[in-house]
Structure formats: structure tokens, C-alpha cells
Amino acid sequence: MEEVKKEFKPQAIVEVLEDGPIKITGNFMVSDSKRDIMDSPEEVYLCRCGRSGNKPYCDGSHKT
């Protein structure tokens, strides 16, 4: 791997919570495949188990 020549400026933090959702914070935009903006929040939790009744968001169904 070559050395990084440019400063890395992260805009957001994407955190995959253990046995839980994807938590995203920072400067980001959520959209669907047509690139329409769905949401531009400060924080979002996305379902990772496929069972949420409020997809793409987590509703805690993974715990049940």
C-alpha cells in the first residue's frame, strides 16, 4: 500500500453496533436509489437484521 498523500477529512462516523443497527452521525445524507433525499438528520440508526417494521430505520425488532 502506498502512503497517504492527502489529509483524510472524515465527514461522518459509521458505526456498526454489535447485534444491532448501523449508527451514522455527522455530515451525511440518506437517499433511496433514485437519489431523492429522504433525510438529512444528525444521527440515524439503520436496520441490519431485516426485521424492522420501519425500514430502513431500526425499530428495535432485532431484540425480540
Partner 1 sequence: MESENRNRRGRKYTNGEITVYWKPDACVHASHCYRELLEVFDPGRRPWVDMYGASTAEIIRTVNMCPTEALTWKWNDEEKNRDIDPSNTNHVNFRRPDLLKNDSSANAEPVSVKIMPDGPVVINGSFVLKYGGKEKNVDESIISLCRCGSSNHLPFCDGTHRKTGFNDN
Q: Please give the residue ranges that form the binding site for partner 1 (CB under 8 A).
A: 4, 6, 8-16, 18, 22, 24, 26-33, 35, 38, 40, 44, 46-51, 55-56
Write down the least CB distance from residue 10 to partner 1, Å.
Answer: 5
Please state, as a whole number, how many other Cβ atoms lie within 10 Å of the Cβ of residue 36. 7
Which residue from 62, 36, 17 is spatially nearest to 54, judged by alpha carbons? 62
Q: Is 33 left (phi over 0), alpha (psi -120 to 50) or beta?
A: alpha
- Min CB(37)–partner 1 separation in Å: 10
- The distance of closest approach from Cβ of residue 63 to partner 1 in the complex, given in angstroms and rounded to an integer, is 13
